[in-house]
Structure 1
């Protein structure tokens, strides 16, 4: 079962209060984590954007979109890591249709 690979996209929003160095470090951390468990297809850093509504009293966030291929079990672990990482305001992982 571990031989099954699916295509996914994840988008996450980081707090701009972290500062540029910390944001770059977190983005790299997530890219390294995904590469350790699969392959990255594309990384699209949208940068600082205004949020549609305040999240944790913040008006702006740093958006990053990563398309990757991995085993289905990894997405649960990635979601868990997003939730416990300070500075991640929101995250979403979706499976793309093949």
Structure 2
């Protein structure tokens, strides 16, 4: 765990999912990082918010922002899984101060 870095991940979940399914998705995504030796220092649920424009025929989404400390390989796997996730509308992974 010598190369752990700070990351911020925002993902927007399909608002048609119920609260239990949303929480299950969040737990699954955070679990990808923690199972690889990373840590979720904060997971902030912003809730349902309207979009400025329509995305995939949706006008709103459920926003979640997570602060993570992990090795780059764990974040690469998380990013791969997020790209393939059907319940996500959008996601973004950044290193604070590096974007």
SS of the residue 2:78 aligns to: helix
* Structure in which a larger fraction of residues adopt helix: 1
Show structure 2 runs of 5+ residues with no match: none
Matched-pair contact (CA < 8 Å) for 1:5–1:71:
yes
**TM-score if structure 2 supplies the norm length?**
0.89
- How is 1:1-98 mapped onto 2 (pairs within 5 angstroms)? 3-37=2-36, 38-97=38-97
Q: Deviations over 1:39-81 (max 9, x none)?
A: 1111111011111211110001000000011111222211110
Show structure 1 runs of 5+ residues with no match: none
Matched-pair contact (CA < 8 Å) for 2:32–2:74:
no
Distance 1:52 1:77 in 2: 30
CA RMSD, aligned part only? 1.6
